[in-house]
Amino acid sequence: MIEAVVFDFDGTLVDFVDSDIKSLKHLHSFAEANVSFDEFLETAVDEIMEFHRLVDQRLIDPLLMHRFRLEKTFKRHGMKWDDSALKIYKAELLRTCVPFDGVVDVLVQLRERFKLGLITNAYDGEEQRKRIAFSGLHIYFDEILISGDIGVYKPDPKVFHTLLSRINVAPENAIYIGDSIKYDVAGANSAGMKSVLFSKSSKTLSSEAHFHAHGVEGLETLARELCELA
């Protein structure tokens, strides 16, 4: 019997990629760049991937993510760097953190029948809490866990077990919804939970996931079915 529904945040409830691109474009417009935004964006993507690789190898402090990425991007294009660029980007990242249309209705419906949890793999707990609060979604969750706060990241089952212990629900009585096969589906499965693979627009499928939700419409259907079963 399902007692709790647990969500991923970025890519599942809010569109981080869209928010990031808008924030980078906003920064680019302030920076008097001699490079096109497309080139600027391509470099920024390369640098964030390099940063994650360094974090995985424990060669860099995860909290340096934005500074590392933006400063390296600026310098690769001969742009003058100072900390004001970091402030501009982070402020816009907050402003553009909005839920997918229809997500609030899904959470309201589920909250009537189930405990709700949120697990996000963000490095910087303070910053991520601000983003979650700015999205307005924090009020719907019984428990929010940010991996950077405990130093353990999805797909490690310890992350899932930590949240479930806080809301006093056994893994077999919980379902997890996320957009990553590697981090969300595999992690939830290893923790003994039911897993749902969410895809914003494409109909991504995985034999590892117990269920699939294509777009917010898929979440609405899943929520309705779960409530009916409850």
What tens digit of pLDDT does each residue of 108-155 get? 999 999 999 999 999 999 999 999 999 999 999 999 999 999 999 999
181 and 194 together in one domain:
yes
Helix 215-229 vs helix 103-111: angle between axes, to the nearest 10 degrees? 10
Question: Given phi > 0 = left and psi -120 to 50 = alpha, else beta, which region is 136?
Answer: left
Strand order from edge to edge, sheet including 194-199: 143-146, 115-120, 4-7, 174-178, 194-199, 211-214
Instruction: Give the pLDDT of residue 230.
Output: 73
The CB density around residue 100, as the number of other CB atoms within 10 Å, is 18
Q: In which domain, by residue range, is 34 found?
A: 17-95
221 and 205 together in one domain:
yes
Q: Which residues of the chain have pLDDT under 70?
A: none
Tell which of 66, 95, 124 closes a domain.
Answer: 95
The domain total for the chain is: 2
- Kindly report the pTM of this predicted structure: 0.94
186 and 103 together in one domain:
yes
